[in-house]
Structure 1
Amino acid sequence: MKFAAFSGVLIDHSIQEALQLTKKLGFDGLEIAAREPHLSASTSAQRIKEIRSVADGLGLEIPVLAGYMGSFSTASDKECEQAFTDFQRILEASLTLGSTMIRVVAGGPNAFLAQDYHYAKSAYWLKKCAVEAKKHERKIVLEIHNISLAETVESSLRLVHQVGEDNVGLIHDAGNMYITDTDYGRDSVIGLGDRMFHVHVKDEKRVDATGTPGTFVNLTKHGQEKFLQCRLGEGEADHQPLFDALKETGYAGWVTLECHAPFPAYERLEHDLAKVKQMMGLA
């Protein structure tokens, strides 16, 4: 098992600085958020080569490019075409960066509000992405995320199976699944099986009011709910059953830490990495 930082946590830093901080913190790699100022569909080939050079010099891997393109289920045909074009550019970047996984956004609405046509349209375009990725031995990962077709184990697998390509899998995200109020412990790991390609870690908790840093509102099956982003172990998303299940099943992939709690970026990543290692008996 290897640990990556999420560059979105370090978005106020240049990608070079983000890589250097990732190395200083003791991570094995950096999952790059595919948005500026770190990386995007318009990033030049020369700049992508420079990113790879810095990562190699630091001994860091770049396992995942976390794309924001997609949302095919609710986009217009023109928007889907543009998203697919953007995907192809990120796919090309993955070849230079050595990234074996590319995140594509499944799209909404919440699974409990979605209709069959949402799944059908998303699956159609995701299949196009998967076919292109397979040519280069790359995988497509869909993050299990609130306000998404991929919101629970069941809805996520429904979409993946509808795509029908073996290089399409899921990112387990206990923080997001806590928001959705669906199981994110051992049963979720067993349920996803070999379709769990990657793991994200962050903590959250329900609160009574918003307005302070780190708070937000989200639509769930319970209505409009309020949440606070937390450092690991300070929220209500108990990750211990997840970590125990990862060890039990012999998970040997990547775990990316993406804490967005209202603390300095370096401090929250440092805290969460130490907490993960403690909870997994690696401290």
Structure 2
Amino acid sequence: MSPLRLGYGTNGLTDLRLEDALRLLADLGYDGVGLTLDHMHLDPLAPDLAARTRHVARQLHRLGLAVTVETGARYVLDPRRKHGPSLLDDDPDARWARVRLLIRSVRVAADLGAHAVHCFSGPRPAGLDQDTAWKRLADALGPVLDAAEDTGVPLAVEPEPGHLLATLTDFHRLRTELGDPEPLGLTLDIGHCQCLEPLPPADCVRAAAPWLRHVQIEDMRRGVHEHLPFGDGEIDFPPVLDALAATGYQGLTVVELPRHSHAGPELAAQSMRFLRNGGTR
């Protein structure tokens, strides 16, 4: 069994400067970071991105932190529409704005030495039929997967409650639509498994193992999409952590608490203690 490499998501540390967040995580003993590209943390749309990326890469190297690039910033493209525009937007120019952001994120990830780039589909627009939505998603991801292949950084698509691609079954439909391309992998969010998958989270880990490129972890309750600190939900974590270790997965397992930034430093410390203790208090 392989020991897990633990990380913490910067979307749960948005009250900290990025440099302070990275030093905090290194001091707490984390192996890496889930870096959400956003206006406060390595803004992907601001000037001098290449120089700023090199600066972050040097800091990650000095601190000994691995990195996954995450692309779930809420308002980075549209200040009025959460996660908008998406890969499924009715406006083709809006869809292309998201595609361009993902391609840029792949290139940033390559420059950082990241082991994956995370993304999700977005919700299906009202009035758009399922088959057209899946074709739209596959078409939009084509150029992103080309960039992933060119850079050698896999794209890890996340099943997200309320989105077109919401479950592991949906991920496999996307694989089929795209012809199972080599750069396409999976982000598995353990809380989302508890929220809506038919299998228990540990079984989801085993079922997803061949495609795992990134893992997010937090507590959650059945049927409620709310990311919770460990112990505040319903997940039995020791079997989940054992299943992850047994897969031989070598990427980061990143704590995902995007609504708890106000208590980020404390929760980062608590989460590390919980996970290093095998998922028990």
Q: Which runs of 4+ in 1 moved over 6 A?
A: none
Q: CA deviation at 1:201?
A: 0.4
Residues 87 and 248 of structure 1: CA distance in aligned 2, closer, same or farther (over 3 Å): closer
2:182 paired residue number: 166
Query: Within the alignment, does 1:138 sit opposite 2:153 as a pair?
Result: yes
1:49 paired residue number: 54
- Residue correspondence of structure 1 range 267-282 to structure 2 within 5 A: 267-279=266-278
Amino acid at match of 2:228: C
2:111 paired residue number: 96
1:138-172 Cα distance to aligned partner (Å, 9 max, x none): 11011121112232211121113322311111111
1:212 paired residue number: none
Q: Provide the C-alpha distance between the structure 1 equivalents of 2:140 and 2:104, rounded to a whole number of angstroms.
A: 16
Contact 2:193 2:201 in 1 (8 A): no
Normalising to structure 2: TM-score of the pair? 0.84
Runs of at least 5 residues in structure 1 that lack an aligned partner in the other structure: 207-219
1:87 paired residue number: 102
Runs of at least 5 residues in structure 2 that lack an aligned partner in the other structure: 73-82
Query: Whose relative contact order is higher, 1 or 2, with alpha carbons under 8 Å and at least 6 apart?
Result: 2
Amino acid at match of 2:58: S
Q: CA deviation at 1:18?
A: 1.0
2:64 paired residue number: 59
Q: Provide the C-alpha distance between the structure 2 equivalents of 1:249 and 1:61, rounded to a whole number of angstroms.
A: 20
Q: Provide the C-alpha distance between the structure 2 equivalents of 1:261 and 1:87, rounded to a whole number of angstroms.
A: 23
Normalising to structure 1: TM-score of the pair? 0.83
- Residue correspondence of structure 1 range 227-238 to structure 2 within 5 A: 229-238=227-236
Q: Provide the C-alpha distance between the structure 2 equivalents of 1:280 and 1:236, rounded to a whole number of angstroms.
A: 12
Q: Which has the higher strand share?
A: 1
1:190-238 Cα distance to aligned partner (Å, 9 max, x none): 32231121211011236xxxxxxxxxxxxx6xxxx6x654211221133
Amino acid at match of 1:135: D
2:209 paired residue number: 193
State the superposition RMSD in angstroms. Answer: 2.5
Query: Within the alignment, does 1:37 sit opposite 2:36 as a pair?
Result: no
Contact 1:259 1:272 in 2 (8 A): no
